[in-house]
Amino acid sequence: MTGKANTDNFQNILLVTIGTLGDVLPFMVIGRHLQQQGLQVTIATHEHYRDKAVAYGLAFEPIAETDLQQFTAHEHAWHPELGVSVAVDKLLLPMLEPVFELTQRLALGRNILTLAHPHALGARVAQDLHKFPLWTLYPSAWLFQSIFARQAYPRVRISSADAQGRTPVQYRLLDWLADRVMGDAASKPGILIGRKKPLWLRRFARYMFQHVSDQMLAAAVNHLRQRVGLPSIRGVLTNWCHSPQKAVGLFPSWYAKPQADWPQHHLLSGFIEARSSAPLPHDLQAFLTAGDAPVVFTFGSEKMDNQSGFKAAASACRSLGMRAVFISADDADVPAEQTGDIFFVRFAPFDTLFKHASCVVHHGGMGTAAAALRAGIPQLLVPFSYDQPDNAARLRALGVGVTLAPAMFDREHLVEQIQLLLTSAEIKDNCRRYAESIRNDTALDVIAHEISAARFSAPLHKN
């Protein structure tokens, strides 16, 4: 499936995505590949990523009135129970209308195909209004929800004040019950519903996810829809966010097995690899070659205030007699007692770095997880919220890693779990097997071929 894409129908590609680097980078990699196939590609996202988009050779459109830092700098952005509400209030809702206006302005060309992140909800409103070609692309599998498969949902505190400052009693009761049954969210950040659970419980879990997500999102989405003459909808994140034309999962079928109740017209491409053409920084390369393979610690591209986590990691590595690489965008995360066995770096390309690592300790982000799978190294997963509990559950089921709750991220637990990762023959064999499975992954060619094969006999948008 290599070669030039057929450009008879789509001369131009518009990429629309929001979120952290794990949500944006796959779109850039896809965009660069499609541009190399002869298509004209524009990416619309946060101003924060302009330089990276330009480095990828893509035309860039900033989404107006959106400041990524109003989300990432919030004190509860990665809270195991409050993070989802912060993402909704500081990211998804503020970007709803700007994404709608931008997509409406840019996507109404005869030869344009829009590829949008499912959280870019304004793009779906624009598609419903104008009927132009738009596919949704999913960097992780958690929105491909099914009552027939193992599913992990993030914890959410659903009790919130109404316009008069009152909190519905039933919401407070549900939050109290959740804490009683599951314990503190930092000790159990996700709600895992296994395949062996009763069908009624699996249906109830899906219903509750739809109910809570609609409580957060549906009013704003429907306000915009009504303003432009569209009917109200329900199931914002369970049904409606999926494009009726094509839903593309950026992961392989062995990672998330297709189910009967998945979005219609879905396609699984495989993981998108962000290959770096630049070498590692000279000082980092010198550190890696000067001793044994280190443990890599990272909590995500935009997460700040990791001082306590890195302090525990440094203590654990000293106990283990191991070297470590700490990755964080926040210089304040550098441990005060940093030694020559710990190397701190703001950024390093995972495809190159992980080849030198013994294992990786991370938050369960899909980009980091896929890079570790490709490198064949074990993973210690510390999920906080969002898709992270679901990613962690799937990776644990594959036998390539273990999970540690944020509340247990201390020296003793880190030592125990890292030792398990590095001594388990079963985990090593699984890592080796899945690395081999994706060694010759053709995800980019799958997407290019699908675009080439698409046929729209007439313009699908209104004039």
**How does pLDDT run across 71-128, given as a tens digit for each residue?**
888 888 888 888 998 999 999 999 999 999 999 999 987 789 999 999 999 999 999 9
Same-domain check for residues 360 and 294: yes
Sequence-distant contacts of 412-419: CB under 8 A, at least 24 apart: 414/312, 414/313, 414/316, 414/361, 414/380, 415/316, 415/319, 415/320, 417/380, 418/295, 418/316, 418/320, 418/322, 418/359, 418/361, 418/380, 419/320
Is the predicted pLDDT of residue 6 greater than 80, yes or no?
no
Question: Looking at residue 346, what is its pLDDT?
Answer: 87
| Pair 319, 391 in one domain | yes
Same domain assignment for residues 253 and 287: no
> What is the domain-level CATH number for residue 309?
3.40.50.2000
Whether 98 and 114 map to the same domain: the answer is yes
> Does 423 lie in the same domain as 396?
yes
Domain match, 286 and 142 both: no
Number of structural domains in the chain:
2
Q: Indicate whether 305 belongs to any domain.
A: yes
Same domain, 396 and 329: yes
Domain that holds residue 360: 282-437
Has residue 427 been placed in a domain?
yes
Which H or E element spans position 94? Answer: helix 93-106
226 part of a folded domain: no
Q: Does residue 297 sit in the same domain as residue 247? A: no
- Flag whether 354 is in a domain: yes
- Does residue 382 share a domain with residue 265? no
* Dist. CA 437–CA 439, nearest whole Å: 6
Is 145 part of a structural domain of the chain? yes
pLDDT, residue 177, reads 66
Residues 31, 78, single domain; the answer is yes
Residues 305 and 244 in one domain: no
pLDDT tens sequence across 134-185: 999 999 999 999 999 999 999 888 765 443 445 566 566 666 666 666 677 7
350 and 427 inside one domain: yes
Query: What is this structure's pTM?
Result: 0.91
Label each residue of 285-345 as H, E or C: HHHHHCCCCCEEEECCCCCCCCHHHHHHHHHHHHHHCCCEEEECCCHHHCCCCCCCCEEEE
